[in-house]
Structure 1
Amino acid sequence: MISAEEFKKLKNKSITLLGMSGVGKTHLAKLIGEEGDWFHFSGDYRIGAAHLKEAIIANISDKMKTDNWLRRLLDNQSISINSQVSFDNLEPISAFLGKVGNPEEGGLPIGEFIRRQSLFFEAEKKTMYEVPNFIKKSQAEGFSHFINDAGGSLCELEDQVLFKLLSEKSLIVYIQTNAENERILIERAKTNPKPMYYNSHFFEKSINTYLAENSLDYAAQVNPDDFVSWVFPKLIEYRLKKYTAIANKYGCTIQSDDLHNCRSANDVINLITSAL
């Protein structure tokens, strides 16, 4: 583990952010990026813009082809489809992931849902293994430092080789939330349930428990939004243990409250060095 003094003296600093979506990872990345010499690498952006782009476009095309008028225009190449993923707009990825449940309520059949989850898993793993090369490229482009704004599901990859690689090429910084922030995230999930990635073992156990608790026989009977709202608190509890284990072994931990009090890139660096 690198010491605080060693980290301060590094000519080229690299950081990988770890934590739940909504805990402040992108806020930290943007705050620290105000210095101008930090390269901001968004894992979710890379997934949507590269590794899942064809699958996302194919999904949109399939949806459009249910309309005969649009189908004709697509088939004769009068129109084309593109996916406009950006750092601030990851909606195409969410739309692709979808939610499991009753198709009449916007849900996906369980087989298709699992297929898309698997594609996302492979895309995220590929993206994280690309981080060392992007660090090199960023330095070649004149950036002194690098920040890997990883997705909340990084912990779900369960790849010790990858975690070791990331820890060797960057400092893994876990942003630990508090009970109040967890409550806010849970309430947000209830009022605005969004698609997300689930570890396959966690998902299988969760969907079976949900079916049993609600006396349902099939996933096609599930209300998609209700399942997301029901499972999210369990997902937080499940992931928090994984984040802690990764941080204890490969990195350091900062508190989300302390991060939200930071007002400059220097404040963030001081917060990280104090954690070391």
Structure 2
Amino acid sequence: MKFSVEDFRNWKHKRITLLGMSGVGKTHISALLRKHQWYHYSGDYRIGTRYLDESILDMIKTQAMQVPFLSELLRNDWIYIRNNIKISDLGPVLSFVGKLGDPEQGGVPLEDFERRQAQYRDAEIAAMYDVPAFIEKGQAIYGYPHFINDVGGSLCELDEPGVIDLLVKHTLMLYIQVTDQEEEQKLITRAQSDPKPLYYRPEFLREHLAVYLEENGLQYAAEMDPDAFTRWVFPRLFHSRVPRYEEIAKLGYTVTSREIAQVRDENDFLNLLETAIARTT
């Protein structure tokens, strides 16, 4: 959607999709707006609670069945296991996606990792196609006048044009851009110390896995330290996503991560959006 400042100001039921790298502030802003009558739709939360819920539980149960005490309880239906995913804590999704590398160091074997990556991609696509239904639910069921779509950092990787077309049709697209090296390094450091589920395009993963193995004198992914590979690959993933996000941003508006960091309430956010709209006219 495109607006003049006046049209945006008069838009009765505002619907915004926040785009940007993991850790850039999308969930923080969404949580802030939730206090001001905005329905917060988290793509990653929807993925974990709807589209990967059964797969995550199957993974947990597989591990539990290897413990004799727990296996007896499960087989006799004396206990049950459920996910406890929160918008602010995606631990079960992160555990399912996992990190590529040596299983003895907590890594996931390459074939299994690629299978989980494909499931994660399908789940993210499905979660985005749910956006129009949740726009309606947010108003009709919960009475929220406005809607904020907090998408995962890998939206630009999905190569699913229909998803972008749908989001542009139903929401204003707002890209949070990282504009300087200091902010970029902060984001990379934060992502490395507090990781979120990561999706890699198959071509990107194959290319960078080959480089990493050669640089480290390894033959197989199963020999890699999973944390070391994740730390090595994330900055490269970050930079590969920038042109993809900038292409999507042409369909909406752009603010910087420094600008978004100054937002303290709904009025700040709306004023920033008006500034972003004015910059394009």
Specify the TM-score bucket, using the shorter chain as the normaliser. over 0.9
Q: Please tell me the residue identity of whatever aligns with 1:171.
A: L
Q: Distance in 2 between matches of 1:223 and 1:75?
A: 35
Deviation at 1:193, TM superposition (A): 5.3
Q: In the TM superposition, what whole-angstrom CA distance separates every residue of 1:36-64 from its partner, at most 9, and x where no partner exists? A: x2111111111001110000000000111
Q: Which residue of the partner structure matches residue 251 of structure 1? A: 252
Q: Which residue of the partner structure matches residue 173 of structure 1? A: 174
Q: Please tell me the residue identity of whatever aligns with 2:225.
A: N
In the TM superposition, what are the counterparts of 1:48-59 in structure 2 within 5 Å? 48-59=48-59
Q: 1:220 aligns with which of 219, 222, 230?
A: 222
Q: Distance in 2 between matches of 1:218 and 1:177?
A: 34
Q: In the TM superposition, what whole-angstrom CA distance separates every residue of 1:156-193 from its partner, at most 9, and x where no partner exists? A: 11222211110110001001123212101222344455
In the TM superposition, what are the counterparts of 1:14-163 in structure 2 within 5 Å? 14-35=15-36, 37-141=37-141, 142-163=143-164
SS for the counterpart of 1:123 is helix
- Note closer, same or farther for the CA distance 1:99–1:51 as it changes in structure 2 (3 Å cut): same
Q: Please tell me the residue identity of whatever aligns with 2:248.
A: I
Deviation at 1:215, TM superposition (A): 1.4
Contact 2:21 2:153 in 1 (8 A): yes
Q: Distance in 1 between matches of 2:75 and 2:236?
A: 44
Deviation at 1:31, TM superposition (A): 2.2
**Unaligned segments of structure 1, at least 5 residues:** none
SS for the counterpart of 1:146 is strand
TM-score by length of 2: 0.94
**Structural RMSD (CA):** 1.3
Q: Please tell me the residue identity of whatever aligns with 1:139.
A: Q
- Note closer, same or farther for the CA distance 1:120–1:146 as it changes in structure 2 (3 Å cut): same
Name the count of aligned residue pairs: 274
Q: Distance in 2 between matches of 1:132 and 1:247?
A: 20
Deviation at 1:245, TM superposition (A): 0.7
Q: Please tell me the residue identity of whatever aligns with 1:18.
A: L
SS for the counterpart of 1:227 is helix
Q: Which residue of the partner structure matches residue 5 of structure 2? A: 4
Q: Distance in 1 between matches of 2:239 and 2:185?
A: 12
Q: Please tell me the residue identity of whatever aligns with 1:200.
A: P
